[in-house]
Amino acid sequence: MRTIEWRDGVVVTIDQTMLPDREDWIEMRGCHEVAEAIKRMKIRGAPLIGAAAAYGLALTAYYSKARNRDDLLREIEQSADMLRRTRPTAVNLFWAIERILSKARSAVGDVDALKNLIIEEAKRIAEEDVIVNRKIGEYGSKLILDGDTILTHCNAGRLATVDYGTALAAVRFAWEEGKHIKVIATETRPLLQGARLTAYELMRDGIPVTLITDNMVGYVMSRGLVDKVFVGADRIVQDAVINKIGTYSIAVLAHEHNIPFYVAAPLSTFDFHSTSKNVIIEERGAEEVTYIKSIRIAPAGVSVLNPAFDITPIKYVSAIICEKGILSKDDFERIVREGRINFGAS
Ligand code: MRU
Cα of 234 from ligand 1 centre, angstroms: 6
Closest residue CA from atom 5 of ligand 1: 45
pLDDT (0 to 100) of residue 293? 87
pLDDT (0 to 100) of residue 26? 98
Is the CB of 166 within 6 Å of ligand 1? yes
Ligand 1: which atom is nearest the Cα of residue 157? 15
Question: Which residues share a beta bridge with 30?
Answer: none
> How many residues does the structure list for the chain?
346
Cα of 335 from ligand 1 centre, angstroms: 24
- Report the distance separating Cα 339 and Cα 323, nearest Å: 18
Cα of 129 from ligand 1 centre, angstroms: 15
Cα of 56 from ligand 1 centre, angstroms: 19
Contacts of 171 (CB under 8 A, 6+ apart): 140, 144, 150, 152, 165, 181, 183, 202, 207, 230
pLDDT (0 to 100) of residue 1? 78
pLDDT (0 to 100) of residue 346? 40
Is the CB of 140 within 6 Å of ligand 1? no
154, 172, 269: which to mutate for ligand 1, most atoms within 8 A of CB? 154
Q: Count Cα neighbours of 60 within 13 Å in the Cβ-side half-sphere.
A: 30
SS3 310: strand
- With a cut of 50, list the residues of the chain below it in pLDDT: 345-346
Domain ranges of the chain: 4-134, 142-338
Cα of 275 from ligand 1 centre, angstroms: 19
CB 345 within 8 A of CB 279: no
Question: Which residues share a beta bridge with 121?
Answer: none
Cα of 247 from ligand 1 centre, angstroms: 11
pLDDT (0 to 100) of residue 343? 67
Start-to-end Cα distance in the chain: 39
Q: Is 234 a catalytic residue?
A: yes
Is the CB of 160 within 6 Å of ligand 1? yes
pLDDT (0 to 100) of residue 344? 57
Ligand 1: which atom is nearest the Cα of residue 243? 8
Name the helix (H) or strand (E) containing 103. helix 91-105
Closest residue CA from atom 15 of ligand 1: 156
CA 69 and chain centroid, separation: 33
> Which CATH topology does 4-134 take?
Four Helix Bundle (Hemerythrin (Met), subunit A) (1.20.120)
Backbone φ and ψ for 182, nearest 5 degrees, come out as -130, 155
Q: What is the DSSP string of 144-182?
A: --TT-EEEE-S--SGGGSSSS-SHHHHHHHHHHTT---E
The dihedral of CA 143, 149, 151, 157: what is its sign?
positive
pLDDT (0 to 100) of residue 301? 96
Domains 4-134 and 142-338 share a fold: no
- Report the distance separating Cα 308 and Cα 306, nearest Å: 6
Q: Which CATH architecture has domain 142-338?
A: 3-Layer(aba) Sandwich (3.40)
Ligand 1: which atom is nearest the Cα of residue 308? 1
Is the CB of 154 within 6 Å of ligand 1? yes
155, 161, 236, 245: which to mutate for ligand 1, most atoms within 8 A of CB? 155
Cα of 160 from ligand 1 centre, angstroms: 6
Is the CB of 156 within 6 Å of ligand 1? yes
Q: Which of 129, 234, 271, 310 is catalytic?
A: 234
Ligand 1: which atom is nearest the Cα of residue 49? 4
Is the CB of 161 within 6 Å of ligand 1? yes
Contacts of 45 (CB under 8 A, 6+ apart): 155, 156, 159, 160, 161, 232
CA 275 and chain centroid, separation: 19
- Taking every pair of C-alpha atoms in the chain, what is the biggest distance, in angstroms? 66
- Report the distance separating Cα 314 and Cα 310, nearest Å: 13
